[in-house]
Amino acid sequence: MDREQVVAKPKARGGELWDSLRTLVYAVLIALGIRTFAYEPFHIPSESMLPTLLVGDYVFVSKYAYGYSKYSLLFSPPIFEGRILGSAPKRGDVVVFRWPHDPSVDYIKRLVGLPGDRIQMREGMLYLNGEPVKRRRVEDFERRDRFGNLVERNQQWEETLPGDGRQPAVTYRTLDLYAYSGSDNTGVYTVPPGHYFMMGDNRDNSQDSRVALEVGGVGYVPADHLIGRAELRWISIEPTASLLKPWTWFSALRWNRMFTGID
């Protein structure tokens, strides 16, 4: 008995176009789902988080770390209030959040104060609930140009936020650019319920919660403005690279920072 041979009929041009369009729609939906519920990439444009994050770092931010608010969604639709399906952030987390003055603007800072905490700076030292946060002097932070020449040297400190029953101590590094800056001495900030206190690791070059919202600072950040926790640098590029000059891309990559965790 002859074996029956089955031959697939070629698809009409309209069918091929529909298949391609459907594949594109699926890919977009998957990308939006990952961005909304899992991880979102962010680019670091300023020096406020030196030495932890450099200009040109690209980081992945965990969206599920703190759950979801309307700001987790594309275009921030007001379909619900507060946060859902999340846990509270911890002191020492590096957090991406929406600027309370203009929620279309993203900021990245380190969370140093939880609701009810009292925060103060005295002579450049951070105080938490009346106690100085432990810190020690480490080697200077050196800025070099793309040829390796030393451009600037700044004091660097290792700071450790104390742990408690909920979390271990967190250690990271900060910069002190100026001996007597206006941000080295402040009043006492008492973090209100449902808000957080954010500071840049580059202590003398950061518009953060030490500066009132009314004068262009960050102020206290509401819980629903948190986007997520920065967890991974996936690529880092020197600002000298030019999009219009592809031959500069490879030499501008900071290979030692790629796919590294964020403390």
Catalytic site residues? Answer: 48, 109
Please tell me the distance from the alpha carbon of residue 208 to that of residue 201, in angstroms, as a whole number: 10
Please tell me the distance from the alpha carbon of residue 80 to that of residue 214, in angstroms, as a whole number: 27
3-state DSSP assignment of residue 161: strand
Please tell me the distance from the alpha carbon of residue 128 to that of residue 136, in angstroms, as a whole number: 16
Neighbours of 130 (CB within 10 A): 8
Cα 6 to Cα 3, 9, 10, distances in angstroms: 10, 9, 13
Please tell me the distance from the alpha carbon of residue 62 to that of residue 54, in angstroms, as a whole number: 19
What residues contact residue 89 under an 8 Å CB cut-off, 6+ apart? 65, 66, 95, 111, 114, 196, 226, 229
- Inter-residue contact 72 to 32 (CB < 8 Å): no
Please tell me the distance from the alpha carbon of residue 121 to that of residue 105, in angstroms, as a whole number: 26
Q: Which helix (H) or strand (E) holds 195?
A: strand 195-199
- Inter-residue contact 186 to 121 (CB < 8 Å): yes
- Inter-residue contact 212 to 91 (CB < 8 Å): no
Q: Which residues pair with 142 in a beta bridge?
A: 153
Q: Which residues pair with 138 in a beta bridge?
A: 156
